[in-house]
Amino acid sequence: MIHEDLEAAINDQINQELTASYNYLGMSVRFDSENLDGFASWMLMQHDEEKVHAMKLLQYLQDRGGKVSLNAVPAPISGYTSPLEVFKKALETEVENTKSINKLYETALRLNDHATTSHLQWFLDEQVEEEKSIEDIIALLERVGDDSAGLLYLDDKLGSRKPEEEEL
Ligand code: MG
């Protein structure tokens, strides 16, 4: 059995991953409506990845005999004025997510739940990747500025991203 504090914290994290997934879906829809298909496809992959994160935690909680509580997922953030703003918001939410995984990890440490700290190690590593990939795109968008040819080049580049499984 898993400690109730950890059960609650993992349930919160499942909700956070699903919220992130839904936000990325909203970002994908926004890019698609502007005919930026490469950006839209990149965001759709983020959407899928976050769903996988939620499922990994959900499965883990079930495996440990914990009770999964699925709560409401808020509507995606909207009202972005530029691609740069979208990615800045994405980074902000990933940074928040890293903090929340760190807190979850600390809870597992405090309760001497080594199986959970081991499971969370993958998430800590994944957050480093998430933040880095978004920071790289922000840097490119800042260089592109108002240059629409640069933006279309970046759209093409992001459109070539392959789903993670295929990269292995
Ligand atoms: Mg995630």
Q: Residue 143 and residue 80: Cα distance in Å, rounded? A: 19
Determine which helix (DSSP H) or strand (DSSP E) holds 69, and give its type and residue range: none
User: CA 144, 149, 153, 156: dihedral to nearest 10 degrees?
Assistant: 130
CB under 5 Å of ion ligand 1: residues: 17, 50, 53
How many angstroms does the Cα of residue 123 sit away from the middle of ligand 1?
7
Do 28 and 44 meet the contact criterion of CB atoms below 8 Å apart? Answer: yes
Do 75 and 15 meet the contact criterion of CB atoms below 8 Å apart? Answer: no
The residue among 19, 15, 130, 140 whose CA lies nearest residue 75 is 19
How many angstroms does the Cα of residue 110 sit away from the middle of ligand 1?
23
Q: Residue 167 and residue 128: Cα distance in Å, rounded? A: 18
The residue among 48, 46, 61, 49 whose CA lies nearest residue 13 is 61
Q: What is the pLDDT of residue 167?
A: 43
How many angstroms does the Cα of residue 37 sit away from the middle of ligand 1?
23
Superfamily of the domain at 4-70+81-159: Ferritin, core subunit, four-helix bundle (1.20.1260.10)
pTM given for the model: 0.93
Q: What is the pLDDT of residue 1?
A: 87
Q: What is the pLDDT of residue 166?
A: 47
How many angstroms does the Cα of residue 74 sit away from the middle of ligand 1?
16
Q: Residue 93 and residue 98: Cα distance in Å, rounded? A: 9
How many angstroms does the Cα of residue 118 sit away from the middle of ligand 1?
17
pLDDT in tens, the chain (168 residues): 899 999 999 999 999 999 999 999 999 999 999 999 999 999 999 999 999 999 999 999 999 999 999 999 999 999 999 999 999 999 999 999 999 999 999 999 999 999 999 999 999 999 999 999 999 999 999 999 999 999 999 999 999 988 876 443
Task: Count Cα atoms within 13 angstroms, Cβ side, for 96.
Answer: 12
How many angstroms does the Cα of residue 91 sit away from the middle of ligand 1?
12
Q: What is the pLDDT of residue 165?
A: 62
